[in-house]
Structure formats: C-alpha cells, structure tokens
Amino acid sequence: MSHAGGKRRPIVGGNWKCNPATASSLDELCRNFDGVAPYLDKCDVYVCPSNLHVALVKDNFTPGVHVAPQNCNFKGCGAYTGEMSVDQIQDLGLGWVLIGHSERRGEFGLPTPAESNQLMATKLQYILDQGLNCVFCIGEPLSIRQKGIQAVLAECADQLADIVPILRALQDKSRVVIAYEPVWAIGTGKTATAEQAQEVHAFIRNLLADLFDADTAKAVRIQYGGSVKPDNARELMSQPDVDGALVGGASLDVRVFSELIKNSI
C-alpha cells in the first residue's frame, strides 16, 4: 500500500460520466488508456464508463486498468426497474464501483430526487458484503463553500457520518477510497488550489484518525476531483494527504490522461 516517501499508493480514476454518445467511439477511448501501462506498477488506475457501456468495454482496456461502474443498486437482483445490481457487476468480473457522485446527489439542476447519505450507506454495505471495493464520493456545493471552511468540513463530516459504522466493521479499510470532489470545481475549470484540497483532505484524515485509529487514517486513500488536468496534477498530488485524482473531462482525452497519471506519481 505505501510507496516511497511514506504516502499511500496513488489511485487515479477517469469518470466518463454520460459519454460518449456513440458506441463506435468506445474503441478509441479504450485505446487511450494504453498509455497508462508503464505507470501501473506505481499507481492504481480505474475508469468509469457509462453504465450502458460497461459490458461493452470491460475487456478492452490495457491489463491492470480496473473498470468501476458509476453507480449501483442498493440490493441484489429483482424488481428494481432501471437499476444495476452489485451482483451483476460482480458477475461481469468487476471489482470496483463508484457511488455518491455529486451528480447523483442532486446536482443536475433538475428536480430529480437526490441520493441521500443514508442511501449511500445502504449501497456501501451491500457492495462490501458482496466483496467489491468502493470509491465513495463526497464534496460540498458552492453555497456551502461560500459559508467558509468550517461549513465545508462539517458538510464532509456529515456525508461520511452514515458510513462510519460500516467502515468500523470493515477489516481491510483500503477497500474504500474516498473521493473528495468540491462540486463548484467540477466541469467548471475552477480547480481547488492545492492548499484548499490539502486542507479538506487533512481534515478527513484527522477525522478518520479520531473515529478509528492512526493506522486506519494512514491506510485510507483520499482522491481529489474537480477540473484536474495534467498541468495542475503534480501540485495537487504533491500534497501530503492527496492520494490521487478523479478526473472527468480530461479522462476522455488520450494523451491528457496518461500525461496526468505521469504527473500524479
């Protein structure tokens, strides 16, 4: 888990969100990840294709790149129209799933029901029970950031509160990666400064130390997401509590993504 310098093994994810529009673009997008092969001994890499495309692309990445669906059900299979179960994800041979992205927590700008902290906890429990690993996203909207750093930290603590008992019972805490993504920095080109990212990451790590113990705080990886690009990756990743990046737009570009990973390790 640890690598030279005492930090945790970096983890970089590419979230394609609801892209691309055509299945015929998938081959090229998958090939884009070939460039990450030289870095896989030093860095974990995952990609989150749209749910419709997961099964089409899952075997098409350079070996070692994990495919992590962008969402999952809260239970097994059954009468859950429109859902995608952890059991089905597992059956496809996938080991990771991402949940709690802000775009599912009510940030579409439409009156779609927001996924709650309680729902996230239900999903996480089921994911872990089924033996999968989880990238668990949190992050504050602009309205909270504007209230100041104490409000930001309180919001992050609140988004984690429901999963504390689950993490407590989990033996291998590295099975959960926390992705801190300030909503105001997503897709806006407005990145949190390295200091802003570090401030929140350090808070989360201290919170883990208080809730659990120093070993847990040391083991859990915390990714930063929000307008990460090759030219800001190095500074963000050089922060002591930033263990990787969760990348949206730039993950759809070949050279940009491998360059970003090169700059992240």
Catalytic residues, by residue number, are 101, 181
Residue nearest to ligand 13P (CB): 248
By CB under 6 A, residue 233 contacts ligand 13P = no
Segment holding 177, helix H or strand E: strand 176-180
Half-sphere exposure of 222 (CA within 13 A, CB side): 26
Out of 128, 186, 192, 256, which residue is the one contacting ligand 13P (CB under 6 A)?
Answer: 186
Give 49 or 248: the residue with its C-beta nearer to ligand 13P: 248
By CB under 6 A, residue 100 contacts ligand 13P = no
Binding range to ligand 13P, per CB under 6 A, among 123-131, 152-160, 230-238, 248-256: 248-256
By CB under 6 A, residue 225 contacts ligand 13P = yes
By CB under 6 A, residue 15 contacts ligand 13P = yes
Give 101 or 217: the residue with its C-beta nearer to ligand 13P: 101
The least CB distance from residue 60 to ligand 13P, in Å, is 21
Interatomic CA distance for residues 16 and 221, integer angstroms: 21
CB atoms within 10 A of CB 46: 24
By CB under 6 A, residue 182 contacts ligand 13P = no
By residue count, the chain amounts to 265
Lay out the sheet containing 244-247: strands in order across. Answer: 66-67, 44-48, 11-15, 244-247, 222-225, 176-180, 133-138, 96-99
By CB under 6 A, residue 144 contacts ligand 13P = no
The least CB distance from residue 191 to ligand 13P, in Å, is 8
Give 177 or 186: the residue with its C-beta nearer to ligand 13P: 186
Binding range to ligand 13P, per CB under 6 A, among 2-10, 81-89, 120-128, 246-254: 246-254
CB 47 within 8 A of CB 14: yes
Residue 40 per-residue DSSP state: T
CB 10 within 8 A of CB 42: yes
- 34: its two tokens: 């070939």
Cα–Cα distances in angstroms (integers) from residue 149 to residues 1, 145, 201, 206, 246, in the given order: 30, 7, 12, 15, 22
By CB under 6 A, residue 226 contacts ligand 13P = yes
- 141: its two tokens: 């909207």
Binding site for ligand 13P (CB under 6 A): 15, 101, 181, 186-187, 225-228, 246-250
